[in-house]
A = this chain, B = another copy of it.
Amino acid sequence: MTILGEMLIGSRAVKGSNGPIHAINPATNETLEPVFAGGTEADVDSAVELAWDAFASYRETAPEARATFLETCADEILALGDELIERAVAESGLPRARIEGERGRTMGQLRLFASVVRAGNYLDARIDPAMPDREPMPRADLRMRMIPLGPVAVFGASNFPLAFSVAGGDTASALAAGCPVVVKAHSAHPGTSELVGRALQKAVAKCNLHEGVFSLIFGAGNVVGQALVAHPRIKAVGFTGSRSGGTALMNIAANRPEPIPVYAEMSSINPVFLMPQALKARGEAIAKGFIGSLQMGAGQFCTNPGLVFAQEGEDLDNFLKVAAEELSQAGTQTMLTPGIHKAYCSGMEQLKGNSRVTEVATGQDSDQPNQCQAGLFVTTAEDFLADESLSAEVFGSTSLVVKCKSVDDFARVADQMEGQLTATLQLDDGDHDATRKLLPVLEYRAGRILCNGYPTGVEVCHAMVHGGPYPATSDSRTTSVGSLAIQRYVRPVCYQDLPQELMPESLKDGNPQGIRRLVDGQDQR
């Protein structure tokens, strides 16, 4: 398979006409071949109408067929071999080991959702049997299941060119739910996108599905994205990216004649709370772990620990000393795109120029292109509360330590914070009482609370929540990572006195699919 610079509309491969879009190797600033070009509104319309046509049959696929399709997608991605790895490394500047790991995660996500489809819990099947003799009124036979929403638009993310892009978590969960997907590729990795797109296109054909189950469109500006979200046949949107990008899509979706849900994962600074006993007992180890987390992937994670709360005093001074030493020894890393690098430098400049903020340390410098020079800064609780700009995400390896007078300040300051994906606690047994007061505030502000670890590294499993109150996401009721993500793309339908012959398999008498069902309020299988 080679990269031809083509969009994929159903089973066709199509050259875009809105160009050029050049992939750039951020490690060298060299332009990568071939040249790509974006789609038009007509291309979007073709892809979405195909998706709509495909919806009729795809939503009716049996669980085993849909699960096999998801697994075939994973197999076809693996079959792309080294070409995928090399291209993704070249387009992202990320190390080979990271990209290989991310491919594994991408395949793992597809397989997890295959298991979710087979298990059938996500259907939330419910049966309230008829009670013909009930007084004063008989009860009808009532059954409920979840059905897919319809075609879904997915926006590839820059920072996970595999795991949150063309075949990433949004696509996998939408396909698992029974929704055809139209992906808008991220222009930072069009070649990676085309390769993965061709793998999915192949899986669609191998599994004899309608070609419209998957399409891939390029677009450099906003035309393609806006047309996708505004298209009347699109019924939900998955997005990972900036706050401005996400809120723009939310506005388009809310102002459609038929508003639709947008699942945008946007902005988070992921506070870390250094509880006093832990800081005293393990300050040095915590500092080293923290700098490791901060440096990971040049800080280009939604869960990068961008904020640290600690009580002022000797223990914090020691922590900062170790952290500064670690950071100043840290080499630079290539950032994903020149644009992200530029925004990072601008954010760093703003922090350096802010009179409420003191620089603790910076990482080593480099004269290579698009290098992330890590930064650690310190401020006080009062200054943090007084200056909104200090709560803004700086996407990259930078973090701000907020000195508090006492541990009681943690909850007071946290209560003023915007919604977050994560909140981290470094705590020892002696910190439990103080933590107990803080926990409700953190639950209310974050989607995931973690102890004695670091927020980077998001496990793909059943209990994961990669979500949180606005602006961390557009919809705190959901997650974009883990098996619960499938719930974003379904809605309930109730069947009253439907004849068995017409009943969906999942609700038939005798439970032919062997799934969990709530019968008269009790679990049955």
Contact = CB atoms under 8 A, between A and B. Distances in A.
B432 A501 contact: yes
Contact of A459 (B115, B140, B147, B523): B140
Interface string A13-37: 0000000000000000000000000
A31 B89 CA distance: 76
Interface string A465-496: 10101110011111100011000001111111
Contact of A444 (B137, B150, B471, B497): B150
Contact of A448 (B419, B461, B494): B494
Contacts of A467: 491-492
Contact of A502 (B436, B457, B491): B436
B493 A452 contact: no
Interface stretch (A73-81, A194-202, A396-404, A513-521): A513-521
Contacts of A435: 502
A448 B141 CA distance: 12
A251 B255 CA distance: 9
A459 B261 CA distance: 28
A140 B450 CA distance: 9
A510 interface: no
Given A254-B250, A259-B470, A477 B491 contact: yes
A143 interface: yes
B493 A453 contact: no
Contact of A521 (B119, B470, B497): B119
B496 A448 contact: yes
A392 interface: no
B450 A465 contact: no
Interface string A276-316: 00000000000000000000000000000000000000000
A381 B419 CA distance: 50
Contacts of A137: 457
A479 B465 contact: no
Interface stretch (A120-128, A217-225, A337-345): A120-128
A184 to B, nearest CB: 22
A393 to B, nearest CB: 16
Contact of A449 (B127, B483, B494): B494
A60 B491 CA distance: 29
A258 interface: yes
Nearest to A125: B463
A409 interface: no
Contact of A432 (B475, B479, B499): B499
Nearest to A487: B477
Contacts of A495: 448-450
A492 B498 contact: no
A490 B475 CA distance: 11
Contact of A463 (B144, B461, B464): B144
A493 B465 contact: yes
Contacts of A248: none
A56 interface: yes
A231 interface: no
A207 interface: no
19 contacts: A101-B136, A121-B523, A124-B484, A128-B464, A140-B450, A140-B453, A142-B464, A250-B259, A259-B470, A436-B502, A451-B498, A452-B497, A462-B518, A465-B492, A477-B492, A479-B492, A483-B521, A484-B492, A523-B523
Given A259-B470, A449-B496, 19 more contacts: A101-B136, A119-B521, A124-B484, A126-B463, A127-B463, A128-B459, A128-B464, A139-B459, A139-B461, A140-B453, A149-B476, A258-B470, A446-B493, A450-B498, A463-B494, A463-B518, A464-B494, A479-B494, A516-B523
